[in-house]
Each structure stands twice: as C-alpha cells, then as structure tokens.
C-alpha cells in the first residue's frame, strides 16, 4: 500500500460487468500472472547448482541473455513488494533449485533465485536464469516436490530460450502497431493495436507452456522428486483460485493459471508423462518433512510494510492508521494501493503520497490529478480531528467521491466510484472517510503479522479443532483444507504434521 502515484480516472469492470475495480492511472501496474516472464519484482540472492547450493551474487556475467533479466529485475521486485528475506526459506529454495539444475537441459546454466514478498500465488522466469517465486506460492505448497514442479517448469522456459523468442515476437508486434498507426493516421488506432498485441504476448505461447511442462516433469523424476507433483499442485492452485474468487464469473486474468493452457489439460499431460517414472503409489519421499521445516514461520498474507486486512478493516501499524469498508465489500491489499469492491459495482481505492509542498488540501485536490473534477464541489472538512478535504468528479460511466486527509508529511487519498447516477456514492464515501483515524498505541502493539505454523497432530485433534486455531479468515476449515491439500473426506492422525495460520 501507500505508493506515490498519479490519477487519471478510469474504472474498468471485471468480465461480465461485475465487481468494478477502481483504477486511476496509478493502477496501471499489473501483477505478473504465473509465467509472464518479463515484468515485475525481485530479490537479490542467486543459486549456484550443486548438491550443497549456496546463494551467490552474479548470474552468467557474460551471458547476453541475462542483460534482459538484469534490466527487468528491479521493476519486478518493486511491483511485488520487494524481496522476502529469510535464510531458512532461502536455503530451502536453493536446495530444490540445485537438485533440478543438475538434471536440467543445461546444467551449466546458473540461476538467480528471488523470493518475492507477495501473498500472490506466482512463479516466473526471465532470460539468463532469473527465477522468481512468491512466498504465497511457498505457503500453498505442501512438499518440496510441488515447489520443484513449479521451478522446473520455469527453468525449462530459461533453457529453451522461450523468453528470448517472446521478446522477438513482442518487438515484431510493436513494429506492426506503428505501421497501423501511420497507415490509419490515428495514434489511437496504433495504441489499440499495441494493446491487443500486448494481451496476446502477455504469456508464453501454448506450445511453449506445454513444452515446459514436459521438460519440467522429466526434470522432477530425474532429480528424485515426485513427478506426479506437477498435476497435484496444479489442482491446489485451481482450488486456491476458486477459494479467493469474489465472484466465480469474475475476471481471473491476474491468476497464476491464466497465462497457461487450461488446468485440466495440463494436469492430464503432467500425469501422463509422470507415468514414465512408475505408478503414483510407488513414488517415494516427496520431501515433505524438510519442506515443512523450511517454511515454518513463513510470513502469510499481508506484510507489515503493506498493512493488514482484518475482516472489513485495513490497519497499518507502521503508519498508525486504520479505516473500515462497508459490509459486503472485499478488500484487496496490493503493493501500490488498497482496493475494495462491493455490491452494485462500487469500487474504492486508497493510497498515500508524500506531502512536500504543504499546500492547502483544497488546492491539492484541484491541482490536476483527478480527471473530471467538479471544482464547485471542493470543500475543506475535518475527519476525526484530522485536516481533510473532499470533492466530486465524473468521468466516462462513473461518478467519484475524492477525499484527502493530511497526517504529518503524508496525504492519504480515498477514491470512491459508483456507476454514473448511483445513489450509493454519498453513503459509501461518508461511511468510509468517517471510519479513518489514527490507531492507538495499544492497537499498534497488538497488531501482529500472520505466519505459517507447522504443528504436530495430537491425540484428540480433528480437522475442525485444528482449523479453529486458524486466523486470517472466517472460512477457517475451508482454508485449513486448502493449505494442507485435504479433501472433505480427509482425516488427521496423531503424529501428522499440518500447517495452520496464526500470529
């Protein structure tokens, strides 16, 4: 949350016209879906391939392919909230990557592994050996074989030079869009052509994805990991996508699976190739015990730097602020802003900017960052003892309430959007801004991040009693089953190790 940005004032709706999302041109930062290997965030350490892997600082110094990865690396890190640093987890991922490298198509390829500080379920690669995995994906996986399945797929993209091929296709697409623009004498037409091209190029091609799947399953089996883990983890990711979907019909374009062939096809393909290594029941150790030990204590969900979502409330202990969204809204805490969507296509955006000019807040609202601003609606107000100002705006099919609040050297901004003519604007915006206040010292001290905790099942424990210890969701039993890859009919027995989410 809280990133300096500029508003331009548009609100795209999700597919099917449901659950509109505020955008304002600072929302143009798109999360990389799964294998989109060219855009987002990072983390420093690199892994050298060996049986005793260590983290190093360089990736193929003289490899020209690595130049593209090096150029994009800082942007990737920034867009995913930075790197996640934890020596135990780094060693775990390094161990898995080292084993896979030894059996890869190019054992001489070195890799730079970055664990991204994001709760998203994602992993991707850049040319030259830059690999990325989010802590959200590590939290969902249940053994080393599942993470190996994801990493081997991404490593296959690197060794097959898929990223370079994609870059060449992208450059051709840019040239084509410029031709369209010149021939039609329309800059808009050129931009639209480029946008359509970007959508087509947002992921690797279907054949590249299937090729990476085949190579990845082979690497899994030859490295001694469970080759059936690829299909198993694809099932888990699909279940997670269903669990987190606000609306089953909503646009899942930012989901891990969106840039790949459909999940059922991939699962069947993965299992078919896994059979070359034997029947699933005969597969040995999946690396579960050392994997769970490596992620015990892993940060889960929001990081302290981005603030926390607890039910209908957003709290940021480091900034000392909090606010509530109305009942029925779902909060999405992204790195660049807090977004919330609710009934009737209502959308909310909250962020913060540095207040260096110290101008009046009414002048700040009128300074040109809001499209469609209605100047006669600007007025100063006070919110729980804090200096504030509010105004209305209208653009395209949307009406907006804009509220800004000053605390010390920071300006916090709320943008509430409703379909044009909706009577819900004032009620929603009023409830939102009136809930904004400073946190008390006691509230700040009591706010703790959620973490993955690995516990051993004791006599008398059931899935229900273990799930009751969970935090971070009202659907505790569903989430417990999800992060432990359990079904409704699953049971636990004394001595089993399971994951729970707790402070």
Quick check: 148 and 96 in contact, CB under 8 A? yes
Q: Are residues 221 and 119 in the same domain?
A: yes
In a 3-state reduction of DSSP, which class is residue 172? helix
CA–CA dist 451, 292 (Å, integer): 13
**What is the helix (H) or strand (E) element at residue 321, kind and residue range?**
strand 321-324
- 335-354 tens-digit pLDDT: 778 999 999 999 999 999 99
Backbone angles phi, psi at 79, to 5 degrees: -80, -15
Q: Are residues 195 and 322 in the same domain?
A: no
Whether 491 shows a pLDDT value over 70: the answer reads yes
- Which of 396, 423, 443 delimits the end of a domain? 443
487: domain CATH number?
3.10.350
CA–CA dist 242, 481 (Å, integer): 13
Assigned domain for 259 exists: yes
- Which of 401, 420, 443 delimits the end of a domain? 443
Quick check: 292 and 497 in contact, CB under 8 A? yes
- 272-319 tens-digit pLDDT: 656 666 555 556 568 999 999 999 999 998 888 888 888 899 999 999
In a 3-state reduction of DSSP, which class is residue 403? strand
CA–CA dist 392, 376 (Å, integer): 9
Assigned domain for 53 exists: yes
With vertex at residue 306, the alpha carbon angle to CA 300 and CA 308, rounded to the nearest 5 degrees, is: 60
Separation in Å, CA 78 to CA 29, 31, 461? 10, 11, 42
Neighbouring C-alpha atoms within 13 Å toward the C-beta of 437? 12
Q: Is 185 left (phi over 0), alpha (psi -120 to 50) or beta?
A: left
Rg of the chain over Cα atoms, rounded to whole angstroms, equals: 24
Q: 133 - beta bridge partners?
A: 115, 123
* Residue 398 DSSP one-character state: E
Domain around 190: 31-299
Q: Are residues 73 and 192 in the same domain?
A: yes
Mean pLDDT over the full length of the chain: 75
Q: Are residues 224 and 312 in the same domain?
A: no
In a 3-state reduction of DSSP, which class is residue 476? helix
| pLDDT category of residue 104 using cuts at 50, 70 and 90 | confident
Assigned domain for 8 exists: no
- 132-158 tens-digit pLDDT: 999 999 999 999 999 998 898 888 877
In this predicted model, which residue has the larger pLDDT, 129 or 408? Answer: 408
369: domain CATH number?
3.40.1000.10
Assigned domain for 19 exists: no
CA–CA dist 375, 362 (Å, integer): 10
Question: Residue 320 burial (CB < 10 Å; 0-12/13-18/19+)?
Answer: middle
Q: Are residues 346 and 276 in the same domain?
A: no
Which among 98, 125, 115 is positioned nearest to 44, based on CA atoms? 115
In this predicted model, which residue has the larger pLDDT, 200 or 210? Answer: 210
Separation in Å, CA 296 to CA 335, 461, 501, 502? 24, 20, 10, 11
Assigned domain for 99 exists: yes
Q: Are residues 151 and 39 in the same domain?
A: yes
Which among 115, 75, 72 is positioned nearest to 97, based on CA atoms? 115
Which among 331, 364, 369, 368 is positioned nearest to 350, based on CA atoms? 331
Token pair 């480029």 in the structure block, residue: 194
Assigned domain for 401 exists: yes
Q: Are residues 355 and 248 in the same domain?
A: no
Q: Are residues 459 and 437 in the same domain?
A: no
**Bridge-based pairing state of the strands 130-134 and 112-116:** parallel
Assigned domain for 216 exists: yes
| Predicted local confidence at residue 75, as pLDDT | 84
- 408-460 tens-digit pLDDT: 999 999 999 999 999 999 999 999 999 999 999 999 998 888 999 999 999 99
Structurally, the chain folds into a number of domains equal to 3
Q: Are residues 165 and 259 in the same domain?
A: yes
Can you point out the beta strands (E) in 118-198? 123-126, 130-134
CA 492 and chain centroid, separation: 31
- Which of 299, 319, 352 delimits the end of a domain? 299
Q: Are residues 405 and 497 in the same domain?
A: no
Q: Are residues 264 and 232 in the same domain?
A: yes
CA–CA dist 87, 91 (Å, integer): 6
- Give 75's contacts (C-beta < 8 A, 6+ positions apart): 39, 40, 41
Assigned domain for 11 exists: no
Whether 245 shows a pLDDT value over 80: the answer reads no
Q: Which of 3-7, 91-95, 262-266, 426-430 has the lowest mean pLDDT?
A: 3-7
* Residue 138 DSSP one-character state: H
Q: Are residues 111 and 155 in the same domain?
A: yes
Q: pTM of the prediction?
A: 0.67
């Amino acid at each position: 949350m809280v990133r300096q940005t500029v508003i331009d004032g548009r609100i795209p709706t999700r597919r099917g016209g449901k659950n509109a999302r505020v955008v304002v041109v600072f929302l143009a930062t798109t999360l990389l879906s799964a294998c989109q290997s060219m855009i987002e965030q990072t983390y420093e350490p690199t892994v050298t391939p060996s049986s005793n892997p260590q983290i190093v600082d360089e990736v193929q110094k003289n490899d020209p392919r690595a130049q593209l990865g090096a150029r994009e690396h800082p942007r990737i890190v920034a867009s995913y909230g930075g790197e996640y640093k934890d020596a135990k987890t780094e060693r775990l991922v390094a161990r898995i990557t080292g084993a896979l490298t030894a059996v890869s198509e190019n054992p001489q390829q070195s890799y730079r592994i970055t664990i991204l500080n994001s709760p998203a379920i994602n992993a991707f690669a850049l040319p030259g050996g830059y690999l990325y995995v989010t802590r959200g994906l590590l939290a969902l996986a249940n053994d080393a074989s599942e993470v190996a399945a994801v990493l081997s797929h991404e490593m296959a993209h690197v060794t097959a030079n898929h990223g370079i091929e994609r870059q060449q296709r992208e450059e051709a697409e840019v040239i084509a869009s410029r031709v369209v623009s010149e021939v039609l004498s329309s800059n808009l037409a050129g931009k639209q052509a480029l946008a359509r091209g970007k959508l087509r190029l947002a992921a690797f091609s279907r054949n590249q994805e299937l090729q990476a799947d085949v190579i990845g399953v082979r690497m899994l089996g030859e490295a001694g990991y469970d080759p059936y883990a690829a299909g198993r983890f694809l099932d888990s990711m699909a279940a997670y996508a269903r669990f987190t979907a606000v609306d089953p019909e909503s646009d899942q374009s930012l989901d891990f699976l969106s840039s790949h062939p459909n999940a059922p096809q991939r699962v069947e393909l993965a299992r078919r190739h896994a059979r070359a290594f034997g029947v699933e029941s005969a597969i040995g150790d999946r690396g579960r015990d050392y994997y769970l030990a490596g992620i015990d204590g892993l940060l889960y969900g929001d990081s302290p730097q981005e603030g926390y979502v607890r039910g209908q409330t957003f709290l940021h202990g480091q900034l000392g602020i909090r606010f509530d969204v109305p009942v029925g809204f779902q909060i999405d805490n992204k790195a660049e802003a807090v977004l919330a969507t609710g009934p009737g296509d209502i959308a909310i955006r909250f962020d913060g900017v540095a207040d260096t000019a110290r101008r009046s807040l009414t002048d700040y609202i009128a300074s040109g960052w809001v499209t469609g601003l209605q100047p006669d609606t600007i007025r100063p107000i006070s919110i729980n003892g804090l200096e504030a100002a509010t105004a209305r705006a209208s653009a395209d099919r949307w009406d907006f309430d804009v509220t800004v609040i000053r605390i010390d050297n920071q300006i916090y901004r709320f943008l509430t959007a409703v379909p044009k003519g909706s009577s819900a604007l004032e009620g929603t915006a009023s409830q939102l801004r009136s809930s904004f206040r400073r946190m008390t010292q006691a509230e700040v001290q009591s706010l703790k991040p959620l973490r993955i905790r690995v516990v051993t099942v004791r006599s008398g424990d059931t899935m229900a009693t273990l799930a009751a210890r969970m935090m971070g969701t009202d659907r505790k039993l569903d989430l417990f089953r999800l992060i432990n890859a359990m079904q409704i009919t699953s049971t636990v027995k004394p001595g089993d190790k399971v994951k729970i989410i707790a402070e």
